[in-house]
Copies of this chain bind each other. A is one copy, B any other.
Amino acid sequence: MKTATLLIACDDKPGLVSSFAQFIAANGGNILDADQHTEHETNQFFMRLVFDTAGFALDEPACRSALVRLSSNIPNMRWQLFMGGNLPRVALMCSKTAHCVYDLLVRHAMGELPGEVALVISNHDDLRQVADHFGIPFTHVPVDKDNKQAAEDQHEALLAEHGIDLIVLARYMQVVGPGFCQRWAGRCINIHHSFLPAFVGAKPYHQAFERGVKIIGATAHYVTAELDQGPIIEQDIAHVGHHASVKELTRLGRDVERQVLARAVRWHLERRIIIHNNRTVVFV
């Protein structure tokens, strides 16, 4: 079955659900999944529509034109249309730590992720054999304090060359530049190894140990120029007792990190997420 997904955000007013549903139906699409949310605090309307395009009268350009016309009457309407059935293409960026990379590549190999992992980029060469094992191209782009711009240029060239739609920072231990963040806004997911906003910055498990918390967490968020401050997609936690050393916290944390990151990546690839005011609406 070929499907398309339409994500909509706009100011709320009466008749919106009907308008959007009618737009699909009038053109012969069959809605398979509809989810809608109104945030009363901000008078914002959010909707996700998945529809069968078997009998749909519009091709992608025609549908985009029609949506432009439709949106002209609806205040502050932003929309995203995903049509045509090409799988989104994903790049993983990593350093030396293997668990998130393995996790995503195993899920990819088992058909869990509705995307094509097309590239692995790392500032170290350690995980080359992991990418090789799964048959994914690997490029080593060393980064040091003197070549940051050159490295970023090489990243952009690689991402362009491979037609990448989504970047996943799978424990990539370098801060990415503000320009890069802006260009990839809403298309670059990071996993932070704490329950944000607690323990922003470096060594969160050491911070957690020092504070004596009874829970550790992980947070997947879209990357923004301000470190660890981007829109949160998913969070989860593990309970920890007094037995847990920093090493143990790190081990327990790995399980949370990979679960949280995998969920966030899948939801993005399934077009379930709308960003609004540094927060996310996630239709699950």
Q: A residues near B, CB below 8 A?
A: 13-19, 21-22, 24-26, 28-41, 46-47, 52, 55, 98-99, 102-103, 106, 109-110, 112, 129, 133, 195-199, 211-215, 217, 231-237, 239, 241-243, 245-246, 251, 254-255, 259, 278-282, 284
Given known A133-B133, A214-B232, A251-B112, contact A21–B30 (CB-CB < 8 A): no
Say which residue of B31, B98, B242, B284 sits within 8 Å of A16 (CB atoms): B31
Contact A33 B37 (CB under 8 A): yes
Given known A110-B99, A217-B215, A232-B211, contact A36–B38 (CB-CB < 8 A): no
Contact A236 B215 (CB under 8 A): yes
Chain B residue with the shortest CB-CB distance to A39: B242
Given known A21-B21, A198-B197, A214-B234, contact A30–B55 (CB-CB < 8 A): no
**Chain B residues near A30 (CB, 8 Å)?**
13-15
Contact A36 B35 (CB under 8 A): yes
Per the bound structure, the CA–CA distance linking A234 and B195 in Å amounts to 16
**Chain B residues near A212 (CB, 8 Å)?**
231-232, 278-280
Chain B nearest Cβ from A47, distance in angstroms: 8
6 contacts between A and B (CB under 8 A): A17-B24, A17-B31, A195-B215, A215-B217, A237-B237, A241-B282
**Chain B residues near A198 (CB, 8 Å)?**
195-198
**Chain B residues near A109 (CB, 8 Å)?**
98
